[in-house]
Structure 1
Amino acid sequence: MQKKITIIGAGNVGATAAHWALARKLGNIVLLDVMEGIPQGKALDLWQSGPLDGFAGSVTGTNDYADTANSDVVIITAGLARKPGMSRDDLLAKNVAIVKACAEEAVKHSPDCFMIVVTNPIDAMVHTAFKVSGLPKHRIVGMAGVLDSARYRTFLADAIGVAPQDVSAMVMGIHGDNMLPLVRLANVAGVPITDLLSEEEIAAIVKRTQMGGIEIVNHLKTGSAFYTPGLAAIEMAEAVLCDSRRVMPCAAYLEGEFGISGYFLGVPVVLGANGVERIIEFELTEEEKNALKDSVEAVSRQMAATGL
Protein backbone atom coordinates (compact mmCIF):
# COMPACT_ATOMS: atom_id res chain seq x y z
CA MET A 1 0.00 0.00 0.00
CA GLN A 2 1.42 3.35 -1.03
CA LYS A 3 2.17 6.00 1.56
CA LYS A 4 0.24 9.27 1.60
CA ILE A 5 1.85 12.70 1.89
CA THR A 6 -0.22 15.83 2.40
CA ILE A 7 1.34 19.21 1.72
CA ILE A 8 -0.63 22.16 3.08
CA GLY A 9 0.03 25.31 1.09
CA ALA A 10 0.32 25.26 -2.70
CA GLY A 11 2.63 28.24 -3.01
CA ASN A 12 6.23 28.03 -4.15
CA VAL A 13 7.49 25.93 -1.21
CA GLY A 14 4.51 23.58 -1.13
CA ALA A 15 4.37 23.00 -4.88
CA THR A 16 8.14 22.46 -4.99
CA ALA A 17 7.92 19.97 -2.12
CA ALA A 18 5.20 18.12 -4.03
CA HIS A 19 7.47 18.05 -7.07
CA TRP A 20 10.35 16.59 -5.07
CA ALA A 21 8.06 14.00 -3.43
CA LEU A 22 6.80 12.95 -6.84
CA ALA A 23 10.31 12.78 -8.30
CA ARG A 24 11.38 10.51 -5.44
CA LYS A 25 8.28 8.35 -5.89
CA LEU A 26 7.39 8.48 -2.20
CA GLY A 27 3.69 7.76 -2.56
CA ASN A 28 0.36 9.45 -3.20
CA ILE A 29 0.46 13.23 -2.83
CA VAL A 30 -2.28 15.62 -1.72
CA LEU A 31 -1.69 19.33 -2.29
CA LEU A 32 -4.08 21.50 -0.26
CA ASP A 33 -4.65 25.24 -0.30
CA VAL A 34 -7.44 27.67 0.60
CA MET A 35 -7.21 29.23 -2.87
CA GLU A 36 -9.64 27.43 -5.13
CA GLY A 37 -8.10 26.20 -8.36
CA ILE A 38 -4.45 26.72 -7.39
CA PRO A 39 -3.78 23.29 -5.82
CA GLN A 40 -5.98 21.59 -8.42
CA GLY A 41 -4.09 23.13 -11.33
CA LYS A 42 -0.63 22.50 -9.90
CA ALA A 43 -1.50 18.93 -8.92
CA LEU A 44 -2.86 18.20 -12.39
CA ASP A 45 0.32 19.55 -13.96
CA LEU A 46 2.48 17.42 -11.66
CA TRP A 47 0.36 14.30 -12.21
CA GLN A 48 0.78 14.58 -15.97
CA SER A 49 4.55 14.25 -15.58
CA GLY A 50 4.10 10.60 -14.57
CA PRO A 51 4.68 9.09 -18.01
CA LEU A 52 7.93 11.04 -18.33
CA ASP A 53 9.19 10.53 -14.79
CA GLY A 54 7.91 7.02 -14.10
CA PHE A 55 5.77 8.11 -11.16
CA ALA A 56 2.70 5.88 -10.79
CA GLY A 57 0.96 7.34 -7.74
CA SER A 58 -1.79 9.92 -7.52
CA VAL A 59 -1.41 13.68 -7.16
CA THR A 60 -4.55 15.37 -5.85
CA GLY A 61 -5.22 19.09 -5.54
CA THR A 62 -7.91 20.12 -3.08
CA ASN A 63 -9.40 22.77 -0.81
CA ASP A 64 -11.01 20.13 1.44
CA TYR A 65 -9.18 18.60 4.41
CA ALA A 66 -11.31 15.48 4.04
CA ASP A 67 -9.13 14.56 1.05
CA THR A 68 -6.08 14.48 3.33
CA ALA A 69 -7.51 11.72 5.57
CA ASN A 70 -5.11 9.04 6.80
CA SER A 71 -1.97 10.83 5.66
CA ASP A 72 1.29 9.30 6.85
CA VAL A 73 3.11 12.64 6.67
CA VAL A 74 1.67 16.16 6.76
CA ILE A 75 3.91 19.06 5.73
CA ILE A 76 2.73 22.57 6.59
CA THR A 77 4.13 25.23 4.27
CA ALA A 78 1.15 27.63 4.35
CA GLY A 79 1.84 31.17 5.47
CA LEU A 80 3.20 34.51 4.40
CA ALA A 81 6.69 34.71 2.92
CA ARG A 82 9.31 37.32 3.75
CA LYS A 83 9.98 40.41 1.69
CA PRO A 84 13.08 42.62 1.73
CA GLY A 85 13.46 44.40 5.07
CA MET A 86 11.39 41.79 6.94
CA SER A 87 12.70 39.45 9.61
CA ARG A 88 11.21 36.01 10.19
CA ASP A 89 9.73 37.41 13.40
CA ASP A 90 7.74 39.96 11.39
CA LEU A 91 5.66 37.07 10.04
CA LEU A 92 4.79 35.66 13.43
CA ALA A 93 1.39 37.16 14.25
CA LYS A 94 -0.27 36.35 10.93
CA ASN A 95 1.35 32.97 10.49
CA VAL A 96 0.35 31.78 13.99
CA ALA A 97 -3.31 31.92 12.97
CA ILE A 98 -2.61 30.17 9.67
CA VAL A 99 -0.53 27.34 11.16
CA LYS A 100 -2.96 26.89 14.05
CA ALA A 101 -5.86 26.33 11.64
CA CYS A 102 -3.81 24.01 9.40
CA ALA A 103 -2.60 21.82 12.27
CA GLU A 104 -6.03 21.56 13.88
CA GLU A 105 -7.71 20.50 10.64
CA ALA A 106 -4.93 18.14 9.59
CA VAL A 107 -5.00 16.06 12.78
CA LYS A 108 -8.78 15.76 12.66
CA HIS A 109 -8.34 13.65 9.54
CA SER A 110 -4.86 12.18 10.17
CA PRO A 111 -4.47 11.77 13.94
CA ASP A 112 -1.48 9.43 13.58
CA CYS A 113 0.50 11.49 11.07
CA PHE A 114 4.07 12.71 11.34
CA MET A 115 3.99 16.50 10.96
CA ILE A 116 6.72 18.70 9.50
CA VAL A 117 6.33 22.46 9.91
CA VAL A 118 8.07 24.69 7.35
CA THR A 119 6.27 28.00 7.89
CA ASN A 120 8.39 30.83 9.36
CA PRO A 121 9.39 31.61 12.02
CA ILE A 122 9.78 27.84 12.16
CA ASP A 123 10.67 27.32 15.82
CA ALA A 124 7.60 29.28 16.95
CA MET A 125 5.34 27.75 14.31
CA VAL A 126 6.20 24.16 15.26
CA HIS A 127 5.51 25.13 18.89
CA THR A 128 2.11 26.44 17.74
CA ALA A 129 1.31 23.26 15.80
CA PHE A 130 2.43 21.10 18.73
CA LYS A 131 0.19 22.95 21.19
CA VAL A 132 -2.98 22.77 19.08
CA SER A 133 -2.53 19.38 17.40
CA GLY A 134 -2.08 17.18 20.44
CA LEU A 135 0.57 15.17 18.59
CA PRO A 136 3.25 13.56 20.76
CA LYS A 137 6.65 15.26 20.63
CA HIS A 138 8.24 12.51 18.56
CA ARG A 139 5.68 12.98 15.77
CA ILE A 140 6.21 16.67 15.07
CA VAL A 141 9.29 18.65 14.06
CA GLY A 142 10.24 21.88 12.34
CA MET A 143 12.26 21.97 9.14
CA ALA A 144 15.19 24.29 9.68
CA GLY A 145 18.54 22.66 10.24
CA VAL A 146 18.37 20.52 7.09
CA LEU A 147 17.99 23.67 5.00
CA ASP A 148 20.53 25.73 6.94
CA SER A 149 23.06 22.88 6.88
CA ALA A 150 22.63 22.51 3.11
CA ARG A 151 23.46 26.20 2.70
CA TYR A 152 26.44 25.87 5.04
CA ARG A 153 27.78 22.84 3.17
CA THR A 154 27.28 24.55 -0.19
CA PHE A 155 29.28 27.63 0.84
CA LEU A 156 32.04 25.51 2.39
CA ALA A 157 32.31 23.27 -0.67
CA ASP A 158 32.54 26.27 -2.97
CA ALA A 159 35.27 27.90 -0.89
CA ILE A 160 37.31 24.69 -0.61
CA GLY A 161 36.68 23.56 -4.20
CA VAL A 162 35.16 20.14 -3.48
CA ALA A 163 31.88 18.32 -4.12
CA PRO A 164 29.17 19.47 -1.68
CA GLN A 165 28.25 15.88 -0.79
CA ASP A 166 31.77 15.37 0.57
CA VAL A 167 31.31 18.17 3.09
CA SER A 168 29.91 17.13 6.46
CA ALA A 169 28.62 20.11 8.44
CA MET A 170 25.67 20.91 10.65
CA VAL A 171 23.73 23.94 11.84
CA MET A 172 22.01 23.86 15.23
CA GLY A 173 19.77 26.26 17.12
CA ILE A 174 17.07 28.63 15.94
CA HIS A 175 16.23 29.13 12.27
CA GLY A 176 17.26 32.77 12.39
CA ASP A 177 20.15 35.13 12.93
CA ASN A 178 21.20 33.29 16.11
CA MET A 179 21.60 29.92 14.40
CA LEU A 180 24.79 28.00 15.19
CA PRO A 181 26.77 26.71 12.20
CA LEU A 182 29.16 24.33 13.98
CA VAL A 183 32.75 24.95 12.89
CA ARG A 184 34.47 22.48 15.21
CA LEU A 185 32.75 19.43 13.69
CA ALA A 186 32.67 20.50 10.02
CA ASN A 187 34.94 18.49 7.75
CA VAL A 188 35.66 17.34 4.21
CA ALA A 189 35.98 13.55 4.08
CA GLY A 190 37.17 13.68 7.69
CA VAL A 191 39.58 16.59 7.24
CA PRO A 192 38.58 19.51 9.50
CA ILE A 193 37.64 22.68 7.63
CA THR A 194 39.95 24.56 9.99
CA ASP A 195 42.84 22.84 8.18
CA LEU A 196 41.52 23.96 4.80
CA LEU A 197 40.27 27.51 5.32
CA SER A 198 41.45 30.55 7.26
CA GLU A 199 39.59 31.87 10.30
CA GLU A 200 38.46 34.85 8.23
CA GLU A 201 37.11 32.64 5.44
CA ILE A 202 35.24 30.46 7.91
CA ALA A 203 33.79 33.47 9.74
CA ALA A 204 32.51 34.88 6.44
CA ILE A 205 30.86 31.56 5.54
CA VAL A 206 29.25 31.27 8.98
CA LYS A 207 27.83 34.77 8.58
CA ARG A 208 26.59 34.06 5.06
CA THR A 209 24.88 30.91 6.32
CA GLN A 210 23.14 32.87 9.06
CA MET A 211 21.99 35.41 6.48
CA GLY A 212 21.28 32.80 3.81
CA GLY A 213 17.54 33.34 3.72
CA ILE A 214 17.57 37.12 3.50
CA GLU A 215 20.22 36.98 0.77
CA ILE A 216 17.71 35.16 -1.43
CA VAL A 217 14.82 37.40 -0.33
CA ASN A 218 16.81 40.48 -1.34
CA HIS A 219 17.33 39.02 -4.81
CA LEU A 220 13.74 37.86 -5.33
CA LYS A 221 12.13 41.00 -3.86
CA THR A 222 8.63 39.46 -3.74
CA GLY A 223 9.25 36.10 -2.10
CA SER A 224 11.68 33.81 -0.33
CA ALA A 225 13.56 30.58 -1.02
CA PHE A 226 11.60 27.54 -2.12
CA TYR A 227 13.68 25.00 -4.08
CA THR A 228 15.91 23.89 -1.20
CA PRO A 229 13.30 24.37 1.57
CA GLY A 230 10.94 22.15 -0.43
CA LEU A 231 13.59 19.47 -0.85
CA ALA A 232 14.66 19.71 2.80
CA ALA A 233 11.11 18.94 3.92
CA ILE A 234 10.93 15.94 1.58
CA GLU A 235 14.32 14.65 2.80
CA MET A 236 12.79 14.54 6.27
CA ALA A 237 9.55 12.97 5.06
CA GLU A 238 11.47 10.31 3.14
CA ALA A 239 13.44 9.33 6.25
CA VAL A 240 10.18 8.68 8.08
CA LEU A 241 8.33 6.99 5.23
CA CYS A 242 11.27 4.71 4.38
CA ASP A 243 12.37 4.16 8.00
CA SER A 244 15.91 5.06 6.97
CA ARG A 245 16.97 6.36 10.39
CA ARG A 246 18.73 9.35 8.90
CA VAL A 247 20.50 11.79 11.22
CA MET A 248 19.24 15.28 10.47
CA PRO A 249 19.19 18.59 12.34
CA CYS A 250 15.52 19.35 13.02
CA ALA A 251 13.58 21.64 15.34
CA ALA A 252 12.67 19.00 17.91
CA TYR A 253 11.12 19.29 21.37
CA LEU A 254 13.77 19.23 24.07
CA GLU A 255 13.31 17.83 27.56
CA GLY A 256 16.72 18.24 29.13
CA GLU A 257 18.90 17.52 26.11
CA PHE A 258 21.80 19.99 25.85
CA GLY A 259 20.53 21.38 29.18
CA ILE A 260 17.39 22.79 27.52
CA SER A 261 13.75 21.98 28.31
CA GLY A 262 10.40 23.08 26.93
CA TYR A 263 11.53 24.42 23.56
CA PHE A 264 11.64 23.32 19.95
CA LEU A 265 15.18 23.93 18.76
CA GLY A 266 17.40 22.69 15.96
CA VAL A 267 19.34 19.64 17.13
CA PRO A 268 20.54 16.42 15.45
CA VAL A 269 17.85 13.74 15.56
CA VAL A 270 17.40 10.23 14.19
CA LEU A 271 14.36 10.16 11.89
CA GLY A 272 12.66 6.85 11.22
CA ALA A 273 9.27 5.17 11.08
CA ASN A 274 8.49 6.30 14.63
CA GLY A 275 9.36 9.90 13.82
CA VAL A 276 12.02 11.31 16.11
CA GLU A 277 13.60 8.08 17.29
CA ARG A 278 16.09 9.92 19.49
CA ILE A 279 18.02 13.14 19.85
CA ILE A 280 21.77 12.80 19.45
CA GLU A 281 23.36 14.67 22.34
CA PHE A 282 27.06 15.51 22.55
CA GLU A 283 29.29 17.80 24.59
CA LEU A 284 29.37 21.42 23.49
CA THR A 285 32.14 23.94 24.06
CA GLU A 286 31.39 26.98 26.23
CA GLU A 287 31.22 29.14 23.12
CA GLU A 288 28.71 26.76 21.52
CA LYS A 289 26.66 26.60 24.72
CA ASN A 290 26.46 30.39 24.79
CA ALA A 291 25.41 30.50 21.15
CA LEU A 292 22.70 27.93 21.81
CA LYS A 293 21.58 29.98 24.81
CA ASP A 294 21.10 32.96 22.47
CA SER A 295 18.89 30.73 20.30
CA VAL A 296 16.82 29.72 23.31
CA GLU A 297 16.29 33.34 24.31
CA ALA A 298 15.15 34.23 20.80
CA VAL A 299 12.81 31.23 20.61
CA SER A 300 11.44 32.06 24.04
CA ARG A 301 10.41 35.53 22.84
CA GLN A 302 8.77 34.02 19.76
CA MET A 303 6.90 31.42 21.81
CA ALA A 304 5.59 34.08 24.17
CA ALA A 305 4.35 36.07 21.17
CA THR A 306 2.24 33.13 19.94
CA GLY A 307 0.09 33.32 23.07
CA LEU A 308 0.05 29.52 23.36
Structure 2
Amino acid sequence: MDRRLFVRLGLMAAAAPLFPKSLLASSVSDRLNVLSEEPLRRIAFGSCNDQTKNQSHWSWIARENPQLWIWLGDNIYADRATLDQRRDRYQSLKNNPDYKKFIDQVPVIGTWDDHDYYNENADGSYADKDGSKELMLEFMDTAWDHPVWARPGVFQSYGFGPVGQRTQIILLDLRYFQDRNKNQKSLLGELQWQFLEDEIRSSTADLILIGSSLNVCSPVVFASLEGWQAFPAEKQRLYNLLASIDKPCVLMSGDRHMGELYRIILPNGKPVYEVMASGLTHAIGIKLPSKERQGEPVGRKHFGLINIDWTSSGPDVQLRLQSAERSEVYHSLATNFAF
Protein backbone atom coordinates (compact mmCIF):
# COMPACT_ATOMS: atom_id res chain seq x y z
CA MET A 1 0.00 0.00 0.00
CA ASP A 2 1.26 3.47 -0.88
CA ARG A 3 2.51 5.40 2.15
CA ARG A 4 0.23 8.38 1.44
CA LEU A 5 -2.78 6.11 1.21
CA PHE A 6 -1.82 4.38 4.47
CA VAL A 7 -1.61 7.73 6.26
CA ARG A 8 -4.91 8.91 4.72
CA LEU A 9 -6.76 5.77 5.76
CA GLY A 10 -5.26 6.05 9.23
CA LEU A 11 -6.49 9.61 9.58
CA MET A 12 -9.94 8.55 8.43
CA ALA A 13 -10.07 5.76 11.00
CA ALA A 14 -8.93 8.10 13.75
CA ALA A 15 -11.42 10.79 12.82
CA ALA A 16 -14.43 8.54 12.31
CA PRO A 17 -15.44 8.21 16.00
CA LEU A 18 -15.16 11.99 16.50
CA PHE A 19 -17.00 13.34 13.50
CA PRO A 20 -20.18 12.24 11.72
CA LYS A 21 -19.67 10.95 8.20
CA SER A 22 -21.49 13.98 6.82
CA LEU A 23 -18.82 16.27 8.28
CA LEU A 24 -16.00 14.24 6.76
CA ALA A 25 -17.53 14.50 3.29
CA SER A 26 -16.74 17.56 1.19
CA SER A 27 -19.46 19.85 -0.08
CA VAL A 28 -18.86 18.33 -3.52
CA SER A 29 -19.56 14.87 -2.12
CA ASP A 30 -22.68 16.14 -0.39
CA ARG A 31 -23.96 17.52 -3.68
CA LEU A 32 -23.10 14.28 -5.46
CA ASN A 33 -25.07 12.35 -2.84
CA VAL A 34 -28.08 14.59 -3.38
CA LEU A 35 -27.70 14.35 -7.14
CA SER A 36 -27.53 10.56 -6.98
CA GLU A 37 -31.25 10.52 -6.15
CA GLU A 38 -32.21 12.61 -9.20
CA PRO A 39 -32.52 11.60 -12.86
CA LEU A 40 -29.61 13.02 -14.84
CA ARG A 41 -30.89 15.22 -17.65
CA ARG A 42 -27.90 17.36 -18.56
CA ILE A 43 -24.23 16.39 -18.27
CA ALA A 44 -21.31 18.51 -19.45
CA PHE A 45 -17.78 17.23 -19.98
CA GLY A 46 -14.49 18.06 -21.64
CA SER A 47 -10.73 17.77 -21.70
CA CYS A 48 -7.51 19.53 -22.72
CA ASN A 49 -7.57 22.49 -20.34
CA ASP A 50 -4.32 24.47 -20.13
CA GLN A 51 -4.54 26.28 -16.80
CA THR A 52 -2.28 29.06 -18.06
CA LYS A 53 -4.79 30.03 -20.77
CA ASN A 54 -8.03 32.01 -20.55
CA GLN A 55 -10.67 30.16 -18.49
CA SER A 56 -13.75 32.14 -19.55
CA HIS A 57 -15.23 28.98 -21.09
CA TRP A 58 -16.57 28.03 -17.66
CA SER A 59 -19.18 30.77 -17.93
CA TRP A 60 -20.36 29.39 -21.28
CA ILE A 61 -20.61 25.89 -19.84
CA ALA A 62 -22.51 27.20 -16.81
CA ARG A 63 -25.11 28.79 -19.11
CA GLU A 64 -26.19 25.29 -20.11
CA ASN A 65 -27.08 24.53 -16.47
CA PRO A 66 -25.41 21.11 -16.29
CA GLN A 67 -26.18 18.96 -13.28
CA LEU A 68 -22.70 17.44 -13.43
CA TRP A 69 -19.28 18.18 -14.91
CA ILE A 70 -16.99 15.30 -15.97
CA TRP A 71 -13.27 15.81 -16.53
CA LEU A 72 -11.90 13.46 -19.22
CA GLY A 73 -8.20 14.18 -18.83
CA ASP A 74 -5.50 16.76 -19.45
CA ASN A 75 -7.39 18.75 -16.85
CA ILE A 76 -4.18 20.71 -16.33
CA TYR A 77 -0.85 20.62 -18.13
CA ALA A 78 2.02 19.62 -15.87
CA ASP A 79 4.47 17.74 -18.08
CA ARG A 80 7.42 16.36 -16.12
CA ALA A 81 6.49 18.53 -13.15
CA THR A 82 7.43 17.48 -9.66
CA LEU A 83 4.57 16.60 -7.35
CA ASP A 84 4.88 19.97 -5.65
CA GLN A 85 4.79 21.74 -9.00
CA ARG A 86 1.79 19.69 -10.11
CA ARG A 87 -0.02 20.52 -6.87
CA ASP A 88 0.61 24.22 -7.52
CA ARG A 89 -0.77 23.95 -11.05
CA TYR A 90 -3.91 22.22 -9.83
CA GLN A 91 -4.30 24.91 -7.19
CA SER A 92 -3.83 27.70 -9.72
CA LEU A 93 -6.85 26.35 -11.62
CA LYS A 94 -8.92 25.95 -8.45
CA ASN A 95 -8.07 29.55 -7.56
CA ASN A 96 -9.11 30.83 -10.97
CA PRO A 97 -12.26 32.96 -10.44
CA ASP A 98 -14.09 31.51 -13.47
CA TYR A 99 -13.45 27.89 -12.50
CA LYS A 100 -14.07 28.54 -8.80
CA LYS A 101 -17.46 30.07 -9.55
CA PHE A 102 -18.32 27.10 -11.75
CA ILE A 103 -17.44 24.37 -9.23
CA ASP A 104 -19.30 26.26 -6.51
CA GLN A 105 -22.42 25.59 -8.60
CA VAL A 106 -21.75 22.24 -10.31
CA PRO A 107 -20.43 19.00 -8.76
CA VAL A 108 -17.37 17.52 -10.45
CA ILE A 109 -16.07 14.02 -11.11
CA GLY A 110 -13.42 12.87 -13.55
CA THR A 111 -10.40 10.91 -14.66
CA TRP A 112 -6.97 11.92 -15.98
CA ASP A 113 -4.82 11.61 -19.08
CA ASP A 114 -1.12 11.96 -19.81
CA HIS A 115 -0.47 15.68 -19.25
CA ASP A 116 -2.03 15.80 -15.78
CA TYR A 117 -0.88 12.26 -14.91
CA TYR A 118 2.78 12.99 -15.74
CA ASN A 119 3.94 13.60 -19.31
CA GLU A 120 3.14 13.18 -23.00
CA ASN A 121 1.94 9.59 -23.62
CA ALA A 122 3.11 8.46 -20.17
CA ASP A 123 2.28 4.90 -19.13
CA GLY A 124 2.22 2.80 -15.98
CA SER A 125 5.99 2.92 -15.58
CA TYR A 126 5.83 6.40 -14.00
CA ALA A 127 7.48 5.93 -10.61
CA ASP A 128 5.37 8.40 -8.61
CA LYS A 129 1.97 7.60 -10.07
CA ASP A 130 0.44 7.09 -6.61
CA GLY A 131 1.50 10.56 -5.57
CA SER A 132 0.04 11.94 -8.79
CA LYS A 133 -3.18 10.03 -8.09
CA GLU A 134 -3.52 11.67 -4.69
CA LEU A 135 -3.15 15.14 -6.20
CA MET A 136 -5.79 14.43 -8.84
CA LEU A 137 -8.33 13.10 -6.35
CA GLU A 138 -7.71 16.08 -4.08
CA PHE A 139 -8.26 18.39 -7.05
CA MET A 140 -11.62 16.67 -7.63
CA ASP A 141 -12.46 17.03 -3.90
CA THR A 142 -13.04 13.29 -3.81
CA ALA A 143 -14.45 12.20 -0.44
CA TRP A 144 -11.97 10.42 1.82
CA ASP A 145 -14.28 7.44 2.14
CA HIS A 146 -14.65 6.93 -1.63
CA PRO A 147 -13.40 3.43 -2.60
CA VAL A 148 -11.09 4.87 -5.28
CA TRP A 149 -8.63 5.85 -2.53
CA ALA A 150 -8.17 2.23 -1.46
CA ARG A 151 -7.28 0.71 -4.84
CA PRO A 152 -4.61 1.40 -7.45
CA GLY A 153 -5.51 3.77 -10.25
CA VAL A 154 -8.34 6.31 -10.50
CA PHE A 155 -11.12 4.25 -12.12
CA GLN A 156 -14.53 4.95 -10.60
CA SER A 157 -18.26 4.27 -10.96
CA TYR A 158 -21.27 6.40 -10.01
CA GLY A 159 -25.02 5.84 -10.15
CA PHE A 160 -27.64 8.55 -10.51
CA GLY A 161 -31.43 8.50 -10.55
CA PRO A 162 -34.27 6.14 -9.60
CA VAL A 163 -35.22 2.84 -11.22
CA GLY A 164 -36.39 3.48 -14.77
CA GLN A 165 -34.39 6.70 -14.99
CA ARG A 166 -31.03 5.53 -13.77
CA THR A 167 -27.70 6.51 -15.31
CA GLN A 168 -24.42 4.80 -14.48
CA ILE A 169 -21.18 6.67 -15.17
CA ILE A 170 -17.99 4.61 -15.31
CA LEU A 171 -14.69 6.49 -15.53
CA LEU A 172 -11.68 4.56 -16.78
CA ASP A 173 -7.98 5.03 -16.03
CA LEU A 174 -5.89 4.58 -19.17
CA ARG A 175 -2.54 5.59 -17.65
CA TYR A 176 -1.88 3.84 -14.35
CA PHE A 177 -1.90 0.28 -15.78
CA GLN A 178 -0.86 0.96 -19.37
CA ASP A 179 2.09 -1.14 -20.58
CA ARG A 180 3.26 -0.79 -24.18
CA ASN A 181 6.37 -2.94 -23.71
CA LYS A 182 4.78 -6.38 -23.43
CA ASN A 183 4.19 -8.71 -26.34
CA GLN A 184 0.56 -8.55 -25.22
CA LYS A 185 0.13 -4.83 -24.66
CA SER A 186 -2.02 -3.72 -21.73
CA LEU A 187 -4.25 -0.66 -21.50
CA LEU A 188 -6.60 -1.24 -18.56
CA GLY A 189 -4.88 -4.04 -16.70
CA GLU A 190 -6.74 -7.09 -15.39
CA LEU A 191 -7.78 -5.49 -12.08
CA GLN A 192 -9.53 -2.66 -13.93
CA TRP A 193 -10.98 -5.02 -16.52
CA GLN A 194 -12.54 -7.09 -13.74
CA PHE A 195 -13.99 -3.92 -12.23
CA LEU A 196 -15.40 -2.78 -15.58
CA GLU A 197 -16.91 -6.15 -16.44
CA ASP A 198 -18.46 -6.51 -12.98
CA GLU A 199 -19.90 -2.99 -13.09
CA ILE A 200 -21.44 -3.39 -16.52
CA ARG A 201 -22.79 -6.92 -16.12
CA SER A 202 -24.35 -6.19 -12.73
CA SER A 203 -25.64 -2.75 -13.68
CA THR A 204 -29.25 -1.85 -12.92
CA ALA A 205 -28.95 1.37 -14.94
CA ASP A 206 -31.12 2.33 -17.89
CA LEU A 207 -28.22 4.16 -19.55
CA ILE A 208 -24.48 3.57 -19.19
CA LEU A 209 -21.93 6.31 -19.88
CA ILE A 210 -18.26 5.32 -20.03
CA GLY A 211 -15.55 7.96 -19.77
CA SER A 212 -12.32 7.10 -21.58
CA SER A 213 -9.55 9.68 -21.82
CA LEU A 214 -8.50 8.19 -25.18
CA ASN A 215 -10.61 7.87 -28.32
CA VAL A 216 -12.25 4.47 -28.70
CA CYS A 217 -13.84 4.24 -32.15
CA SER A 218 -11.33 5.91 -34.47
CA PRO A 219 -9.35 3.43 -36.62
CA VAL A 220 -6.38 5.82 -36.75
CA VAL A 221 -3.36 5.92 -34.43
CA PHE A 222 0.15 7.00 -35.39
CA ALA A 223 3.28 8.51 -33.85
CA SER A 224 2.07 10.35 -30.73
CA LEU A 225 -1.63 10.12 -31.63
CA GLU A 226 -3.03 7.62 -29.14
CA GLY A 227 -6.24 5.63 -29.03
CA TRP A 228 -7.77 2.25 -28.28
CA GLN A 229 -6.87 1.24 -31.86
CA ALA A 230 -3.28 0.78 -30.64
CA PHE A 231 -4.59 -1.93 -28.29
CA PRO A 232 -6.76 -3.98 -30.69
CA ALA A 233 -7.32 -6.92 -28.36
CA GLU A 234 -8.62 -4.65 -25.61
CA LYS A 235 -10.72 -2.62 -28.03
CA GLN A 236 -12.39 -5.82 -29.18
CA ARG A 237 -12.82 -6.95 -25.58
CA LEU A 238 -14.65 -3.69 -24.84
CA TYR A 239 -16.90 -4.09 -27.87
CA ASN A 240 -17.66 -7.68 -26.87
CA LEU A 241 -18.54 -6.53 -23.36
CA LEU A 242 -20.89 -3.82 -24.62
CA ALA A 243 -22.52 -6.28 -27.03
CA SER A 244 -23.17 -8.74 -24.19
CA ILE A 245 -25.69 -6.48 -22.42
CA ASP A 246 -29.02 -5.06 -23.54
CA LYS A 247 -28.43 -1.62 -22.06
CA PRO A 248 -27.74 1.50 -24.11
CA CYS A 249 -24.16 2.78 -23.93
CA VAL A 250 -22.48 6.07 -24.77
CA LEU A 251 -18.70 6.53 -24.75
CA MET A 252 -17.14 9.88 -23.81
CA SER A 253 -13.54 10.62 -24.72
CA GLY A 254 -10.94 13.36 -25.12
CA ASP A 255 -7.20 13.76 -25.80
CA ARG A 256 -7.03 14.56 -29.54
CA HIS A 257 -7.64 18.33 -29.46
CA MET A 258 -10.73 18.07 -31.65
CA GLY A 259 -14.38 17.21 -31.28
CA GLU A 260 -16.03 14.25 -33.05
CA LEU A 261 -19.20 12.17 -32.89
CA TYR A 262 -19.21 8.46 -33.74
CA ARG A 263 -21.85 5.81 -34.24
CA ILE A 264 -20.78 2.18 -34.47
CA ILE A 265 -22.91 -0.90 -34.96
CA LEU A 266 -21.68 -3.96 -33.10
CA PRO A 267 -21.92 -7.38 -34.80
CA ASN A 268 -25.16 -8.16 -32.94
CA GLY A 269 -26.74 -4.96 -34.30
CA LYS A 270 -26.42 -2.90 -31.12
CA PRO A 271 -25.56 0.78 -31.68
CA VAL A 272 -22.91 2.42 -29.52
CA TYR A 273 -22.15 6.13 -29.66
CA GLU A 274 -18.99 8.05 -28.84
CA VAL A 275 -18.67 11.76 -28.29
CA MET A 276 -15.11 13.09 -28.16
CA ALA A 277 -14.85 16.56 -26.60
CA SER A 278 -11.24 17.65 -26.61
CA GLY A 279 -10.28 21.26 -26.59
CA LEU A 280 -11.46 23.55 -23.81
CA THR A 281 -8.53 25.95 -24.23
CA HIS A 282 -6.97 24.83 -27.53
CA ALA A 283 -8.14 22.71 -30.46
CA ILE A 284 -7.17 21.87 -34.03
CA GLY A 285 -9.25 20.51 -36.89
CA ILE A 286 -7.73 17.47 -38.55
CA LYS A 287 -9.98 15.20 -40.57
CA LEU A 288 -8.86 11.62 -40.05
CA PRO A 289 -10.48 8.79 -42.03
CA SER A 290 -13.36 7.08 -40.22
CA LYS A 291 -16.54 5.57 -41.63
CA GLU A 292 -18.15 5.69 -38.18
CA ARG A 293 -17.71 9.44 -37.66
CA GLN A 294 -20.90 11.46 -37.89
CA GLY A 295 -20.33 14.85 -39.51
CA GLU A 296 -17.13 16.86 -39.59
CA PRO A 297 -14.50 17.25 -36.85
CA VAL A 298 -14.66 20.33 -34.63
CA GLY A 299 -11.40 22.26 -34.57
CA ARG A 300 -12.51 25.13 -32.34
CA LYS A 301 -12.64 25.35 -28.56
CA HIS A 302 -15.59 23.34 -27.33
CA PHE A 303 -17.11 21.07 -24.67
CA GLY A 304 -19.45 18.09 -24.74
CA LEU A 305 -23.05 18.03 -23.57
CA ILE A 306 -25.40 15.07 -23.09
CA ASN A 307 -29.11 15.84 -22.77
CA ILE A 308 -31.35 13.01 -21.58
CA ASP A 309 -35.16 12.94 -21.85
CA TRP A 310 -36.74 10.20 -19.73
CA THR A 311 -40.35 10.69 -20.84
CA SER A 312 -40.44 8.06 -23.63
CA SER A 313 -40.07 4.26 -23.63
CA GLY A 314 -36.29 4.50 -23.51
CA PRO A 315 -34.00 7.41 -22.78
CA ASP A 316 -33.93 10.00 -25.57
CA VAL A 317 -30.29 11.07 -25.71
CA GLN A 318 -28.87 14.08 -27.49
CA LEU A 319 -25.10 14.36 -27.89
CA ARG A 320 -23.75 17.83 -28.55
CA LEU A 321 -20.41 19.48 -29.24
CA GLN A 322 -20.81 23.06 -28.16
CA SER A 323 -18.68 26.18 -28.45
CA ALA A 324 -16.65 27.18 -25.41
CA GLU A 325 -16.46 30.74 -26.74
CA ARG A 326 -20.01 31.66 -27.80
CA SER A 327 -23.59 30.39 -27.87
CA GLU A 328 -23.25 27.93 -30.74
CA VAL A 329 -23.78 24.21 -31.21
CA TYR A 330 -21.19 22.76 -33.60
CA HIS A 331 -22.66 19.26 -33.92
CA SER A 332 -25.66 17.43 -32.52
CA LEU A 333 -26.78 13.81 -32.70
CA ALA A 334 -30.00 12.50 -31.18
CA THR A 335 -31.21 8.94 -30.67
CA ASN A 336 -33.86 7.06 -28.76
CA PHE A 337 -32.61 3.99 -26.90
CA ALA A 338 -35.68 1.77 -26.90
CA PHE A 339 -34.73 -1.88 -26.32
Query: What TM-score does the superposition give when structure 1 sets the normalisation length?
Result: 0.32
Which structure's residues are more often helix, by fraction? 1
